[in-house]
Amino acid sequence: MTEHASTAFERGTDGPKVILAGVDGSESSLRAAAYAAGLARRQNALLALVYVQPVMAAGAALGAPVAEATGEVAEEIVAEIRASAERLKGIFEVRWRFHTFRGDPYAGLVSAADELKADAVVVGASERAGHRLVGSVAVRLVKAGRWPVTVVP
């Protein structure tokens, strides 16, 4: 059996370029972000951290400052991520960017994954009991079948 040049080993060219992690401030989403950061570091990929700001027309109609509240959540998440990145500086280097999208979590993550050309999506397992029966964002992303999805407990 002769070896052809076309079967030569290819190094470091097939890995993901963008790994998207959905974050909402919950413990499971922060674990998902940490897991995705490890994947991104090992693959030399960009880590896209995505927070989906909920659109609550009913809350806004009642006079609730919804946009301000969700903006504050996004700022808190960014501050926490920056603090974590600073603690790991010099130990682990990860290229990351924070993005916000608006909508319900599923539609927002789908839009983000499409727009950012994500190669993989990482999310935390839902912490709500009802989601085990009805279906969580993670389950819906897996069923969409458009990217590999990792669900972190």
Provide the token pair at 28: 């499971």
- The secondary element (H helix, E strand) that includes residue 120 is strand 120-124
Distance CA 40, CA 54 (A): 27
What are 65-88's pLDDT values in tens digits?
A: 555 566 677 677 777 777 766 665
* CA–CA separation, 57 and 62 (whole Å): 9
Does the pLDDT value for residue 45 go beyond 80?
yes
Residue 133: pLDDT band (50, 70, 90) is very low
Is pLDDT larger for residue 84 or for residue 61?
Answer: 84
